[in-house]
Amino acid sequence: MECQTMLKVDGLSLDYGEGSVLKNIHIELEKGQHACLIGPSGSGKSSLLRSIAGFETPLNGTIYLRDQLVYSREINVPPEERKVGMLFQDLALFPHLTVKENIAFGVLGRDKNAVSKIVDELLDLVGLSDFSARYSHQLSGGQQQRVALARALAPEPGLLLLDEPFSSLDNELRSELLKDIYQIFSEKEITTLMVTHDQVEAFSVADRLGVLIAGELAQWGSPFALYNEPVSKSVADFVGFSSYISATLVDSNTLHTALGTLHCAPVNNAKIGDTLKVLLRPETMGLNDKSPIKAKILKRLYRGADSLLTLSLNNGETFYINSVNRDDLSVGQVVGVEPLVKAVVAFN
């Protein structure tokens, strides 16, 4: 039977000898799924990828690839036998080898005709058939990345780990390249786990998104869940824009706030009468002159297509909203606001 679970990380901890770097990580990826990992610098993202690839020795936990145990207390399969591809920002193409030779490097030792066939197919796939005899200094940054990708794909890894592979490319080229390569991943049913510091990038390609904060996987789920149902304030603050107003819990899913009555999912460990914090994304509230809820414009950040307004309520609480650009919006003005969502997220 074909394996469905490509990667399973269970209770993984890592320590470089100066305190823990990864704490009790659980991740599961099905064949063909695309996951992204985001998190502050130094939170352990690269360490997690390196542990999966076999370049670090974890303290605890297990790692399965294609339902096969590759790491536990007793077993440590070396990197070259794990059949995991890796793509880094620092792509390290061999400067003395041509494009064709660089790609072939990953499959050396195989029959010459077979290698030639694999290389030609990959050149075609990444759109570099006409560049096969060039050296890396004769290629643009984007083309070099495509070569590195082809080289990583040559051994046909089931799982490809990508560590901020495109952060040195400019925005336009990056989004173009990203679209192309995820198309390739989908066609070839390659499972991917990519670290990126670009949230837009992460949201646009991920089936599964994880937030790593100080070595802990604070949340792992769909991009929708991470943005709309963050499990903690730290996740909410890391993902997208957030502001908060205080609320009183009047029954298990009803909140009284200065913005009126709002509804929420039951909040862990909260009792009726508790004061909670309500997460307001900039699109949670909208302007409506007829609304009885009034707020004053403190700041207006013009962003081209829209404006980010900082609004202040009578009680001094402030929050952000996105607004279409209107000529009549200016700092100091009082506007009516209304909730645009049925439910909000509240934290204890």
Contact footprint for ligand ADP (CB under 6 A): 16, 21, 39, 41-47
- Which residues, in sequence order, are CB contacts of 165 under 8 Å at separation 6+? 87, 88, 89, 91, 145, 148, 149, 194
Identity of the residue numbered 306:
D
Q: Which strands form 5-15's sheet, in the order they lie side by side? A: 20-30, 5-15, 60-65, 68-71
Q: In the complex with ligand ADP, which residue's Cβ is closer, 16 or 302? A: 16
* Contact residues: Mg ion, CB under 5 A: 45-46
Strands (E), the chain: 5-15, 20-30, 34-38, 60-65, 68-71, 84-88, 159-163, 191-195, 208-213, 216-221, 243-251, 254-257, 260-264, 275-280, 285-287, 294-302, 306-312, 318-324, 334-339, 343-347
Which among ligand ADP, Mg ion, none contacts residue 47 (Cβ within 5 to 8 A by kind)?
ligand ADP
Which among Mg ion, ligand ADP, none contacts residue 269 (Cβ within 5 to 8 A by kind)?
none
Q: Residue 339 forms beta bridges with which residues? A: 285
Q: In the complex with ligand ADP, which residue's Cβ is closer, 21 or 52? A: 21
**b/e map 227-241, b = 16+ CB within 10 Å:** bbbbbeebbbebbbe
Which among Mg ion, ligand ADP, none contacts residue 266 (Cβ within 5 to 8 A by kind)?
none
Q: Closest approach of Cβ 166 to Mg ion, in Å?
A: 14
Q: What crossing angle do the helices spanning 141-153 and 171-187 adopt, rounded to 10°?
A: 20
Q: Closest approach of Cβ 47 to Mg ion, in Å?
A: 8
Which among ligand ADP, Mg ion, none contacts residue 16 (Cβ within 5 to 8 A by kind)?
ligand ADP
- Which residues, in sequence order, are CB contacts of 42 under 8 Å at separation 6+? none
Q: 3-class SS at 53?
A: helix
d(CA 311, CA 274): 25
Which among ligand ADP, Mg ion, none contacts residue 208 (Cβ within 5 to 8 A by kind)?
none
Q: In the complex with ligand ADP, which residue's Cβ is closer, 21 or 128? A: 21
Q: In the complex with ligand ADP, which residue's Cβ is closer, 234 or 254? A: 234
Which among Mg ion, ligand ADP, none contacts residue 43 (Cβ within 5 to 8 A by kind)?
ligand ADP
Closest CA to 162 of 188, 192, 142: 192
Q: In the complex with ligand ADP, which residue's Cβ is closer, 17 or 109? A: 17
Which among Mg ion, ligand ADP, none contacts residue 58 (Cβ within 5 to 8 A by kind)?
none
Q: Closest approach of Cβ 75 to ligand ADP, in Å?
A: 22
Q: In the complex with ligand ADP, which residue's Cβ is closer, 39 or 230? A: 39
Q: In the complex with ligand ADP, which residue's Cβ is closer, 84 or 255? A: 84
Q: Residue 76 forms beta bridges with which residues? A: 71
Q: In the complex with Mg ion, which residue's Cβ is closer, 46 or 196? A: 46
Tokens of 273: 């009468």
Q: Closest approach of Cβ 164 to ligand ADP, in Å?
A: 8
Q: Closest approach of Cβ 338 to Mg ion, in Å?
A: 42
Q: Closest approach of Cβ 165 to ligand ADP, in Å?
A: 13
Q: Closest approach of Cβ 56 to ligand ADP, in Å?
A: 8
d(CA 81, CA 67): 15
* φ and ψ of 235, to 5 deg: -70, -45
Q: Closest approach of Cβ 19 to ligand ADP, in Å?
A: 9
